[in-house]
Chains A and B, each alone.
Chain A
Amino acid sequence: MIEALQFEFMQNALFAGFFASLICGVVGSFVVVNRLVFLGGGIAHAAYGGIGIAFYFGVPYILGTLGFSLVAALVMTAVVLKAKNRADTFIGVLWAVGMATGIILLDMTPGYQVNLMSFLFGSILAVPSSDIWWMLALSAVTIFSAGYFYRDMLAISYDDEFARLRGVPVNLLYFFFIGLVAVSIVIIIRVVGLILVIALLTIPPFIAEKYSNSLLMMMALSTVFAMIFNLSGLWLAYTFNLTSGAAIILVATGGFFLSLAGDFLIPRLMPKKKENAL
């Protein structure tokens, strides 16, 4: 592994994994505590429509996917805010429409065809340096926004009604945060693929949530978990010549089931004494 680090593709893979972990740790924690995983999946799949648009109309890839996903995300957010109990159905529809549009547009595009596999699993070992800069910029924006609006984000996630009473512009910030989720997903998909995005967005925050007593700690822990999964997945992929995205996901799901097993076993092996009598 150490000798592999001299290759530029390996360095870029590590950088990509690092930034993806950072963004997923912050954004994923927001997604998980707000139960927006389905919405995240919807945005990620709808992004495929953006890829179709980009290829068919010949617009730059990043503009096509970003534009399409942002619009899809904002529409989904509007539905979540307006009709919470019907939101999942609507997101499912947009999810499907996005993917179908993408595939049809690619069918109609003459010449080169994008490989669906590379979209699903990405190619972390083939990340160009220009994408690393995109990710660096996005990480900076994400961390700055999360830091600046931390208290608002916390309040909206925990009790939006109370936040509203305190004069927090709840709807506006909700759009902003979900827009941030959309931008993050699009940029990370390019690097690691949409399945890995959803895995990184959900598994590390899920594990971290149990051991954190603040959203901030959850974000930090998720980032650390995501980095561990990325590094060990990359190592496995390199050593055994496996598909990197899939290897990372399997390591992450391994962590997921280990943490579930821990939840089941730890209280049985070391019973915690009751001290909350009031």
Chain B
Amino acid sequence: MQTPVISVEDMNFSYNGRPVLTNVSFTVREKEFLALIGPNGGGKTTLLKLLLGLIKPDSGKIRIYDMPPDKAAHRIGYVPQNIAFNKAFPISVLDVVLMGRLRFHGRSRIQRPDKEAAREVLSELEMLDYQNRRIDDLSGGQRERVFIARALATDPDILFLDEPTASLDNTGRTELYAILKEINKDKTIVVVTHDMMVLSSYISSVACVNKSVHYHGAAELTEEMIEGGYHCPVELIAHGVPHRILKTHEDEP
């Protein structure tokens, strides 16, 4: 049995007295590709921020590599939701990626090896030609790659992505997941997503986040489990299961 890279035990989090996540327990294994799905406002992004240590749970325990999240933050590469950014900000692609090298050696200065490392991830993601372009000159898909490059520049063991495909068309999504599959060969990935269609052949596990978290290891994902009342208002497609199992939550339109 592998040691878990992420483990959450009886975790509760509320915001302004309103419970957002209750009794959350799950573990994520090394090199797992976990998809967090669930309705808007169900707490997916909040769960990511808790795992990153950006916010603190009210009770319960979160461990990343058996450390508290704020101590383990350097081992996680974070790709936030694309829409959150100031569109007019004057910053080049290379400068965005270099943010991933901040404090990399404990100093605030960026040095030549940092630039080399940043260019290397950019070229892995086929974005090197754009290094001096302004980030808001790029298309949604290109920008997403830059943010992934920034996360990879931190040399993480786990990659968190928050709705990376939200602004992409179908081709863009397929390309992006191909990239993630490649990254998944040596890194654990947790992705918040709505589009299960593209995920089908990439993910290894699913967790439904809707005030509580229901973790489904892919191997046990069966129709019975879904029928069993896990309120997951999304389409579920299991790895290796040829047909789609559609299940809609009563609250969903």
Using CB atoms and an 8 Å cutoff, list the residues of chain A in contact with chain B.
33, 35, 148-149, 151-152, 154-155, 157-159, 161-168, 209-210, 212-215, 217-218, 276-278
Contacts and interface: CB of A to CB of B under 8 A. Distances in A.
B78 A162 contact: yes
Interface stretch (B83-91, B182-190, B213-221): B83-91
Contacts of A166: 73-74, 99-100, 102-104, 154
A277 B78 contact: no
B98 A158 contact: no
30 contacts: A148-B108, A151-B98, A151-B102, A151-B108, A152-B108, A157-B89, A158-B86, A158-B89, A158-B96, A158-B99, A159-B80, A159-B84, A161-B54, A161-B80, A165-B52, A165-B76, A166-B102, A166-B104, A166-B154, A167-B102, A167-B103, A168-B103, A168-B108, A212-B90, A213-B90, A213-B92, A276-B139, A278-B139, A278-B142, A278-B172
A165 to B, nearest CB: 5
B103 A33 contact: no
Interface stretch (B2-10, B24-32, B130-138, B196-204): B130-138
The 4 closest A-B CB pairs, nearest first, are A166-B102, A212-B90, A213-B134, A276-B139
B43 interface: no
B120 interface: no
B245 interface: no
B103 A214 contact: no
A210 B102 CA distance: 26
B95 interface: yes
B139 A164 contact: no
Contacts of B96: 158
Given A151-B109, A164-B54, A166-B154, 12 more contacts: A33-B90, A151-B99, A151-B108, A152-B108, A155-B102, A157-B89, A158-B86, A159-B80, A159-B85, A159-B99, A213-B134, A215-B90
Contacts of B108: 148-149, 151-152, 168
B150 interface: yes
A152 B90 contact: no
B102 A152 contact: yes
Interface string B113-144: 00000000000000000001110011101100
A148 B104 CA distance: 16
Contacts of B80: 159, 161-162
A219 to B, nearest CB: 10
A162 B99 contact: yes
B67 interface: no
Interface of B: 52-54, 73-74, 76, 78, 80, 84-86, 88-92, 95-96, 98-100, 102-104, 108-110, 132-134, 137-139, 141-142, 150, 154, 172
B54 A158 contact: no
Nearest to A208: B90
Given A159-B80, A276-B138, A214 B90 contact: yes
A213 B139 contact: no
B91 A165 contact: no
A197 to B, nearest CB: 22
Nearest to B110: A151
A77 to B, nearest CB: 19
Contacts of B74: 165-167
A12 to B, nearest CB: 33
B125 to A, nearest CB: 12
Contact of B88 (A209, A213, A277, A278): A209
Q: A154, A163, A218, A278: which has the most chain B beta carbons within 10 Å?
A: A278
B218 to A, nearest CB: 29
A218 B95 CA distance: 14
A165 B141 CA distance: 24
B78 A165 contact: yes
Nearest to A155: B99
Contacts of B86: 33, 35, 158
B92 A163 contact: no
Contacts of A278: 139, 141-142, 172
A98 B238 CA distance: 63
A38 to B, nearest CB: 16
Contacts of B133: 213
B143 to A, nearest CB: 10
